[in-house]
Amino acid sequence: MALAAILAALAVAQLAVAPAAFAEAPRFSREPAVEQRIDALIQAMTLEEKLGQLTQQWGSEAQDVNPVVTQTKRDDLLGLIRAGKVGSLLGAHGAEYTNMLQKAAFEESRHKIPIILGNDVIHGYRTIFPIPLGGAATWDPQLIEQESRVAAIEAAACGTHWTFAPMVDICRDPRWGRVAEGAGEDPVLGAAMAVARVRGFQGRDLKAADSVVACAKHYVAYGAPEGGRDYNTVDISMQTLHDVHLPPFQAAVRAGVGTLMSSFNEINGVPGSGSRYTLTTVLRERWGFDGFVVSDWSSVTEMIAHGYAADQADAGLKSLTAGVDMEMSSFSYRDQLPALVQAGKLDEKVVDEALRRVLRVKFAAGLFDDPYTDPAIAEKVVLCAEHRKLAREVARSSLVLLRNEGGVLPISPEIKSIAVIGPLADSKRDPLGTWAAVGKADEVVTVLEGIRARAGDGVTVRHVAACDVRGSDATGIPEAITVAYDSDMIVLVLGESEDMSGEGHSRSVIELPGQQADLARVMQATGKPVVAVLLAGRPLAIPWVAENIPGVLFAWHPGVECGNAIADVLFGDFNPCGKLPITFPRATGQIPTYMAHKNTGRPPLEKERYTSKYIDVSWTPQFPFGYGLSYTSFAYRNLSVSPRELKADGTLTVTVEVANTGARAGAEVVQCYVRDLVGSVTRPVRQLVAFEKVQIAPGETKTVTLSISAQSLGFHNWDMKYVVEPGEFKFWVGDQEGTFEISE
């Protein structure tokens, strides 16, 4: 674990090197033999065939079971493929079906160029893992790499060559529905998760039958929409763009990601799918990326609605020349660009360069060697016991214990009856969360099923849904009260259904929906010991629950092994170790609130009226980034740093002892934060610079060493120059703090 975390941190640390000095060695353009084959293909292809390779369309409609419609659609699709009109499909699943599509390209088209088949394999293919926000709560890059490896194995066995993941958008506004899909608010944790997922999906050999090409998305700053409203305007400073939103993408490029996906949103007036600055100047000229960029779904032609393109031809021209190589699910490249080339408005060399990038990745993925899938593999790997076991491991590591007053958890062996109350307790679909690929609800272990299985025959477990997830129906609450009074304890299962987060599913408020808050009050009023398990695709504002329910376990949408993972923690078979990857506000009105905020000239003071705070809620978060409890306790001692003074090209070594002062083994995420006390632009009061997750036995003390490059402490100044400025820094690890200095 340590090595992976350090490697990830180092990968991140080196991100911040001044962009110009960081051009990553190209990865996909280094094979002369491949370049020659590409030259020959380009030489032989017509303009229409070239643009066909830059076109991706939906490919599942010919998969339906209706023989009449299917055959017609299948003939149409196969005709397009044979004619070289489409270079990629998304939405096609299953070895037999995809092999049939592939044959039309690889054996029956003029140039025998294989199609590349993409799908949204975000947190599992059929074995569904926690939503990525939950995955980030593990703070365990090695575990998340294993998860993505399993996702790749299953997806590849079913014909997928390319996944539209990892989603690496930094988000500090949990109203945004797609916060569920990323790694939260922080660029260092986000970059570590991006690296882990790229490595897991692409494996050690991109040509291996169980590797898939990864796709870092959505490039860039899609996670910062005004109002948290999906697809909305993004207007941020160039410093924030470079210091917060770009680093996870740079980490993914550094890790060798094969593709990126350009975003729907505008960035300061220029849509992500038309921005030459981000797509070419930053991505290719500074970072040296030589894979390819695919647009998001119709994000090219949506530039007309943005008011950035006059029509489809203008949109296609602007996207292609900005650096979007393949157009997803709109057809301006295929249908509009030939005329522009003929009219001399578009140099065919631009088309050739985009085509070269796409073909390089197809070669790198081994598709020209063997683009077919062995149908015999899927039944051996899909949802196999080993994969379910890993899903349980990731899920239980993602659970964040937010409160445990009076030791209400783990559940005592004296408890002989449990009331499992709440609308999500026995839900099969919601634990899979958003973007659940081909996961199946009937394969999910619900919270109720997990508790029943673990409690065993000697414990009576009864369930009442009591109310809906949303809406005003609370007719089941009286029955819940009766069952609660008749039980030794209550496990409340509350939160959001899976369709309350994800694409196009932003919320204007993040409080508990429907009658759930009232249900919590009523259950607490019974006087029985109560534990709340919260399922959600985002942080929730739960001030009353957080202050009045003794046990609170945040479970995100934990995937197919939901109930088993939650029971493992509730009954103490697993010591919770999750830490929040995103700040939990007390109220929606506090948004945005996040760890790496600025101090302002009037930082909030309790007794001072005219300071930066609210009159109706504390300025502090309900639960901060990086927070999470354990069933044991840890003490931090003997923090040291060496050297205490270093140059801008130096490296700090931070060392701290962490003791497990409790009675049971546990994992602790050791986090190091810094504050640059004075800068030429203001600096965050606390920013994460390194972390490491360590397992510590009861009574054991471990010495943890974190390596931090001075370069990673730099930032983009007012003139947009990356600088590491001299001066004093404070730093924290646990409850310990110290100082160091960067000198001229």
Q: Work out how close the CB of 316 gets to ligand GLC at its nearest, in angstroms, rounded to a whole number.
A: 18
Distance CA 168, CA 165 (A): 8
> Which stretches within 272-347 are classed as H helix?
276, 302-306, 312-322, 332-342
Q: Work out how close the CB of 391 gets to ligand GLC at its nearest, in angstroms, rounded to a whole number.
A: 22
Distance CA 449, CA 429 (A): 14
Pairing of strands 162-163, 116-119: parallel
Distance of CA 677 to the CA centre of its chain: 31
| Three-class HEC string of 698-742 | CCCEEEEEEEEEHHHHCEECCCCCEECCCEEEEEEECCEEEEEEE
Distance CA 564, CA 667 (A): 19
Closest CA to 296 of 326, 275, 331, 332: 326
Could you say whether residue 503 binds ligand GLC (CB under 6 A)?
yes
Q: How far apart are the first and last CA of the chain?
A: 35
Contacts of ligand GLC in 151-170 (CB under 6 A): 164
Q: Work out how close the CB of 333 gets to ligand GLC at its nearest, in angstroms, rounded to a whole number.
A: 17
Yes or no: say if 413 and 573 are a contact pair by the CB < 8 Å rule: no
Closest CA to 282 of 269, 297, 296, 267: 267
Distance CA 708, CA 705 (A): 10
Contacts of ligand GLC in 33-52 (CB under 6 A): none
- Which single residue is written with the structure tokens 């009232």? 518
Beta carbons within 8 Å of 696's beta carbon, 6+ residues apart: 634, 658, 659, 660, 665, 666, 667, 668, 702
State how far the alpha carbon of 7 is from the alpha carbons of 174, 312, 691, 726, in Å.
Answer: 29, 44, 11, 26
Contacts of ligand GLC in 77-106 (CB under 6 A): 90
Distance CA 636, CA 643 (A): 20
Query: Nearer to ligand GLC by C-beta: 218 or 454?
Result: 218
Beta carbons within 8 Å of 482's beta carbon, 6+ residues apart: none
State how far the alpha carbon of 420 is from the alpha carbons of 425, 451, 501, 542, in Å.
Answer: 7, 9, 24, 20
Q: Which residue in the set 139, 176, 289, 297 belongs to the binding site for ligand GLC (CB under 6 A)?
A: 297
Query: Nearer to ligand GLC by C-beta: 164 or 594?
Result: 164
Beta carbons within 8 Å of 474's beta carbon, 6+ residues apart: 466, 467, 515, 518, 519
Distance of CA 240 to the CA centre of its chain: 19
Query: Nearer to ligand GLC by C-beta: 9 or 214?
Result: 214
**Residue 118: Cβ-neighbour burial (10 angstroms; 0-12, 13-18, 19+):** buried
Size of site (CB under 6 A) for ligand GLC: 7
Distance CA 176, CA 505 (A): 7
Query: Nearer to ligand GLC by C-beta: 121 or 425?
Result: 121
Query: Nearer to ligand GLC by C-beta: 224 or 493?
Result: 224
Radius of gyration of the chain (CA): 26
- Is 154 in a helix, a strand, or coil? helix
Options 140, 296, 430, 568, the catalytic residue: 296
**Exposed e or buried b per residue across 143-162, where buried means at least 16 C-beta atoms within 10 angstroms of its C-beta:** bbbbbbbbbbbbbbbbbbbb
Q: Work out how close the CB of 540 gets to ligand GLC at its nearest, in angstroms, rounded to a whole number.
A: 24
Query: Nearer to ligand GLC by C-beta: 228 or 684?
Result: 228
Query: Nearer to ligand GLC by C-beta: 264 or 729?
Result: 264
Query: Nearer to ligand GLC by C-beta: 138 or 265?
Result: 265
Query: Nearer to ligand GLC by C-beta: 59 or 576?
Result: 59
Q: Where are the beta strands (DSSP E) in 590-726?
A: 634-642, 645-646, 651-660, 666-676, 687-696, 701-709, 715-716, 722-723
Q: Work out how close the CB of 443 gets to ligand GLC at its nearest, in angstroms, rounded to a whole number.
A: 22
Query: Nearer to ligand GLC by C-beta: 265 or 583?
Result: 265
Could you say whether residue 296 binds ligand GLC (CB under 6 A)?
yes
Q: Work out how close the CB of 382 gets to ligand GLC at its nearest, in angstroms, rounded to a whole number.
A: 21
Q: Work out how close the CB of 164 gets to ligand GLC at its nearest, in angstroms, rounded to a whole number.
A: 3
Q: Which residue in the set 9, 28, 120, 327 belongs to the binding site for ligand GLC (CB under 6 A)?
A: 120
Query: Nearer to ligand GLC by C-beta: 164 or 729?
Result: 164
Helix (H), strand (E) at residue 555: strand 551-556
Query: Nearer to ligand GLC by C-beta: 164 or 556?
Result: 164
Closest CA to 680 of 641, 637, 625, 727: 727
Binding mask 306-335 for ligand GLC (x = CB under 6 A): ------------------------------
Distance CA 386, CA 209 (A): 19
Q: Work out how close the CB of 264 gets to ligand GLC at its nearest, in angstroms, rounded to a whole number.
A: 7
Strand partners, 215: 259
Closest chain position to ligand GLC (CB)? 164
Could you say whether residue 176 binds ligand GLC (CB under 6 A)?
no
Q: Work out how close the CB of 275 gets to ligand GLC at its nearest, in angstroms, rounded to a whole number.
A: 17
Query: Nearer to ligand GLC by C-beta: 164 or 731?
Result: 164
Q: Work out how close the CB of 120 gets to ligand GLC at its nearest, in angstroms, rounded to a whole number.
A: 5
**Exposed e or buried b per residue across 431-462, where buried means at least 16 C-beta atoms within 10 angstroms of its C-beta:** bbbbbbbbbebeebbbbbbbbbebbeeebebb
Angle between helices 247-254 and 187-202 (to 10 degrees): 30
Q: Work out how close the CB of 356 gets to ligand GLC at its nearest, in angstroms, rounded to a whole number.
A: 24
Contacts of ligand GLC in 243-262 (CB under 6 A): none
Distance CA 640, CA 653 (A): 8
Q: Work out how close the CB of 330 gets to ligand GLC at its nearest, in angstroms, rounded to a whole number.
A: 12
Query: Active site includes 296?
Result: yes
State how far the alpha carbon of 438 is from the alpha carbons of 61, 143, 341, 388, 554, in Å.
Answer: 16, 22, 41, 15, 25
Q: Work out how close the CB of 219 gets to ligand GLC at its nearest, in angstroms, rounded to a whole number.
A: 11
Contacts of ligand GLC in 629-668 (CB under 6 A): none
Contacts of ligand GLC in 397-416 (CB under 6 A): none
- DSSP assignment of 378-433 equals HHHHTT-HHHHHHHHHHHHHH-EEEEEGGG--SPPTT--EEEEESTTTT-SSGGG-
| Residues taking part in catalysis | 296
Instruction: Give the footprint of ligand GLC on this chain (CB under 6 A).
Output: 90, 120, 164, 217, 296-297, 503
